Structure 1
Amino acid sequence: MSDSSDEGYTLEQAKDDIGILRRVEEETVEAIENTEEEEVLKYLIEDEQLDVRHDGERGLGEVRRAVLESDVASDELKRLVSLRGDETPDDILVPQNVKRNAKVALAAGKPVVLYGPTGTGKTTFAKQLAREMCVGYTLNTATPSWTPSDIIGGISPDYSDDSLSYRTKLGCVSEAVQRARKFDVEYGVILDEITRADISKIFGPLYTAIENPHQTIFETDEGDTIELDERVNIICTMNMSDRTVNELDNAITRRFAMIELDEYEENKRRQLFKDWINAHVSGSTDLDEAEILRLFERDYQGINHGTETTAQGAIMRFGPMHYRDVAVFLGIGCRDGGEYEHDPTAAVGQAFQTYVVPRLLNAAAFPQIERIVDHYRALNDEFEAFDLTPAAKLAERELEQERRQMGTYE
């Protein structure tokens, strides 16, 4: 490879050496480390995509690590390598005030909780928010077994070398602090579906760190201390289908910015439905696309706002994202050679039975189950082109089971 001049590795040298740089990872890393021109990095990463060639489509390999550690690379270039392979959609569809409030809260150093009913795109928006506000991020989905060590860190067994020992292991927030420090960047950590865990239990040490940002919350085996860093942006999502903000521990509502993600603007929701139908159903099935769109709208409106067929009004809050699964099911099931190629009418009811009704029943109380049954019976009568009987019958079976348990089965 060409020798670096006193002014560092130049763009001309990079172009002369591109053949060997494409083949040898170590030479690429050396070129990145020795250049003093961002144009060299842009050429290697944006034009030649040498990080993809050597590190793969995604992940933190040696080439991307070198870019992140470079004093020459801009935040935009660091963001490019950090998010390489991230397929999060660019188009942010949440209401404008939701986006603005979340961005202001993070800019003010406040952790954010995005809460709302299932299917409103909380996780997608959390990733979009992290992509926009940070250079990189990690996504961590809570489980019922989570403990404070999953957040801050703790001691874990090490079975290497045919013996048992114990080492410290970073939690997801501590790991984000390390990356923000190492690469000197804004870094995001998403804690997804935190209501699946015991929030009061797992967030105890984190609450302390938020109140006392200079207090050490963790120390590694190497003696490095971890304090909550202002460059770390904490974004949580919370499904509120079975609880309200008032039922939460006051500790989280006092320390986090609570941002509700609920209703989409009608035109954006309708465009979502159209996009999914066009992408997955259009041209590949014999289904009436206009009727599919009308069914999506009628189902969504009936669940969220009530219709003339549901005199009691809304059944529950239910997001639009569930209908993407229905569109994908119909596109695959009803295409040439698909399981429902010759029976597309039945496919619609099966799709709703598989993806929509179980999610409604999962969060429904007894009176809501009764109304879900009425809702799908009415839709089945209204949409003669589709057989929605499977959806209605699933709700009916759940209603019968609830009545048996309550001793009111007729």
Structure 2
Amino acid sequence: MSNSSGDGYTYEQAEDDIEILQRVAGETVEAIKNAEDERVIEFLIKKKELDIHHDGERGLGQVRRAVLESEIASDELKRIVSLRGDDTPTDVLVPRDVYQNAMVALEAGKPVVLYGPTGTGKTTFAKQLARETGIGYTLNTATPSWTPSDIIGGISPDYTGDSLSYRTKLGCVSEAVQRAREFDVKYGVILDEITRADISKIFGPLYTAIENPHQTIFETDDGNTIELDERVNIICTMNMSDRTVNELDNAITRRFAMIELDEYEEDKRRQLFKSWIDSHVSEQTDLDDDSILHLFERDYQGINYGNESTSQGPIMRFGPMHYRDVAVFLGVACREGGQYEYEQTDAVGQAFRTYIVPRLLNSAAFPQVERIAEHYRSLNGEFEEFDLSPAAELAERELEQERRQMGSYE
């Protein structure tokens, strides 16, 4: 399929050569490199999906690399190959002001921290931001053992060969800079759940680089220097159950845009609940969709807003994303051949016992544990069609243990 005319590789040639292109990855790479116009690459990638054919469902193979290196491929095409296999929802359901503030901060070149209660969709929104503002991203979840080298890079041992040697290793931010430079594109790096690590410790060199973007933060083995790049968007997430904003080092609140993600509008929250029920519960189980939706709403409202009839206030802030796990559990447990195929009403209580109550108890103080136990006793009485006693009993056992520890068990 050589192009002897010396002109660019045409759309018509791609159509004629498609069987060869499907067999030989190298020929596909040459077709992309020599494409006459973007239509050729669109045909190969959007219509024939030759990047999946040769490179697999995900990952940076030779075909995708050729698209990213192409000077005529649009950002849309580069985004397609960069995000292959990424199942992040496209619908952005966070409050409009949250979305706008985060986008403005990134457009202004400011790194972002998304903070709020557990289960509010911070990681999902971080990925949506990264997808919308760049052609690709990496997701990195913090651990207690993180050091500055995990962020900007450092020296690591190399055990290959006969003797121990050392080599430089890029951190997640410097790796994103290198990717942005290599392909001349906007790129995102997500640092997820950063409160798991010592923020002041791991971000020290990054703070300096943010203050002075031209300062070298890392140098590779081959002598290339890494500086922060305006094409790289840094997006962090943190659970406020781990730490309040007031307890954070002032250094991060001065250098990052702090975007709170807490409450969803009621219609969007219901949209989330309904989408999970439609996807996992409706077709797989005999459970009533409306009853499950009502249970999700009642549980969420009781935890986040309290009980109007008793004038009790909220128990704690608790995000809606936790209920997706409940829906998935029910779909798997109650399907044909599932563990709860013939005990579907029992599965509901077991799902709440497995995914909701432990997460509430994990960060609850004693008064909250009392309220959680009371809440699930009440729900179990209200929803006679489901057996929610497993959830209530787990909360009761935790309450009894708390009482014993306090010396007030009766």
Calculate the TM-score normalised by the size of structure 1: 0.97
- Helix, strand or coil at the partner of 1:203: helix
Q: Bigger shift: 163-172 or 67-76?
A: 67-76
Aligned position for 1:118: 118
Aligned position for 2:132: 132
Tell me if the contact between 1:305 and 1:315 (Cα under 8 Å) persists in the aligned partners: yes
Tell me if the contact between 1:4 and 1:34 (Cα under 8 Å) persists in the aligned partners: no
Alignment root-mean-square deviation, CA = 1.2
CA distance in 1 between counterparts of 2:369 and 2:140 reads 32
Tell me if the contact between 2:135 and 2:187 (Cα under 8 Å) persists in the aligned partners: yes
Give deviations 1:109-151, integer Å, cap 9, x for gaps.
0000111111111111111111111011000011111110000
CA distance in 1 between counterparts of 2:157 and 2:388 reads 53
How far the C-alpha of 1:89 sits from its partner, in A, is 0.9
How far the C-alpha of 1:63 sits from its partner, in A, is 0.6
**Structure 2 vs 1, CA of residues 310 and 191 (structure 1 numbering), >3 Å: closer, same or farther?**
farther
- Helix, strand or coil at the partner of 1:238: strand
Aligned position for 2:198: 198
2:157 pairs with 1:157: yes
The one-letter code sitting in structure 2 at the alignment partner of 1:295 is: L
CA distance in 1 between counterparts of 2:262 and 2:57 reads 34
- Helix, strand or coil at the partner of 1:162: coil
Aligned position for 2:230: 230
Give deviations 1:341-371, integer Å, cap 9, x for gaps.
2222211111100000000011111111111
CA distance in 1 between counterparts of 2:61 and 2:242 reads 41
Deviating 4+ runs (over 3 angstroms): 308-311
**Structure 2 vs 1, CA of residues 343 and 30 (structure 1 numbering), >3 Å: closer, same or farther?**
same
Aligned position for 2:243: 243
2:277 pairs with 1:274: no
**Structure 2 vs 1, CA of residues 241 and 294 (structure 1 numbering), >3 Å: closer, same or farther?**
same
Give deviations 1:221-260, integer Å, cap 9, x for gaps.
0000000000000000111113211111100000000001
Give deviations 1:194-241, integer Å, cap 9, x for gaps.
111111111111101100000000000000000000000000011111
Aligned position for 2:27: 27
Spell out the pairing of 1:246-395 with structure 2 (5 A cutoff): 246-308=246-308, 311-395=311-395
Tell me if the contact between 2:52 and 2:58 (Cα under 8 Å) persists in the aligned partners: yes
Q: Bigger shift: 150-159 or 84-93?
A: 84-93
The one-letter code sitting in structure 1 at the alignment partner of 2:59 is: G
CA distance in 2 between counterparts of 1:306 and 1:4 reads 75
Aligned position for 2:185: 185
- Helix, strand or coil at the partner of 1:57: coil
- Helix, strand or coil at the partner of 1:281: helix
Aligned position for 1:39: 39
The one-letter code sitting in structure 1 at the alignment partner of 2:279 is: A
Aligned position for 1:85: 85
Give deviations 1:170-213, integer Å, cap 9, x for gaps.
00000000000010000000001111111111111110110000
Tell me if the contact between 1:310 and 1:374 (Cα under 8 Å) persists in the aligned partners: no
Q: Bigger shift: 327-336 or 60-69?
A: 327-336
Calculate the TM-score normalised by the size of structure 2: 0.97
Tell me if the contact between 1:284 and 1:334 (Cα under 8 Å) persists in the aligned partners: yes
2:76 pairs with 1:76: yes
Q: Bigger shift: 258-267 or 14-23?
A: 14-23
How far the C-alpha of 1:280 sits from its partner, in A, is 1.4
Aligned position for 2:51: 51
Structure 2 gaps, min length 5: none
CA distance in 1 between counterparts of 2:4 and 2:244 reads 62
Aligned position for 1:95: 95
- The total of aligned residue pairs comes to 410
Q: Bigger shift: 323-332 or 109-118?
A: 323-332
How far the C-alpha of 1:5 sits from its partner, in A, is 3.1
CA distance in 2 between counterparts of 1:185 and 1:24 reads 28
Structure 1 gaps, min length 5: none
Aligned position for 1:171: 171
CA distance in 1 between counterparts of 2:309 and 2:398 reads 21
- Helix, strand or coil at the partner of 2:139: strand
Tell me if the contact between 1:310 and 1:371 (Cα under 8 Å) persists in the aligned partners: no
Identity of aligned residues (%): 81
The one-letter code sitting in structure 1 at the alignment partner of 2:257 is: A
Tell me if the contact between 2:210 and 2:255 (Cα under 8 Å) persists in the aligned partners: yes
Tell me if the contact between 1:309 and 1:378 (Cα under 8 Å) persists in the aligned partners: no
**Structure 2 vs 1, CA of residues 399 and 62 (structure 1 numbering), >3 Å: closer, same or farther?**
same
CA distance in 1 between counterparts of 2:191 and 2:82 reads 19
- Helix, strand or coil at the partner of 1:138: strand
How far the C-alpha of 1:392 sits from its partner, in A, is 1.1
**Structure 2 vs 1, CA of residues 405 and 37 (structure 1 numbering), >3 Å: closer, same or farther?**
same
Q: Bigger shift: 385-394 or 135-144?
A: 385-394
How far the C-alpha of 1:38 sits from its partner, in A, is 1.4
- Helix, strand or coil at the partner of 2:161: helix
CA distance in 1 between counterparts of 2:289 and 2:309 reads 23
Give deviations 1:251-289, integer Å, cap 9, x for gaps.
000000000111111011112112211221114323222
Q: Bigger shift: 256-265 or 277-286?
A: 277-286
CA distance in 2 between counterparts of 1:158 and 1:20 reads 41
How far the C-alpha of 1:71 sits from its partner, in A, is 1.1
**Structure 2 vs 1, CA of residues 310 and 167 (structure 1 numbering), >3 Å: closer, same or farther?**
farther
- Helix, strand or coil at the partner of 1:237: strand
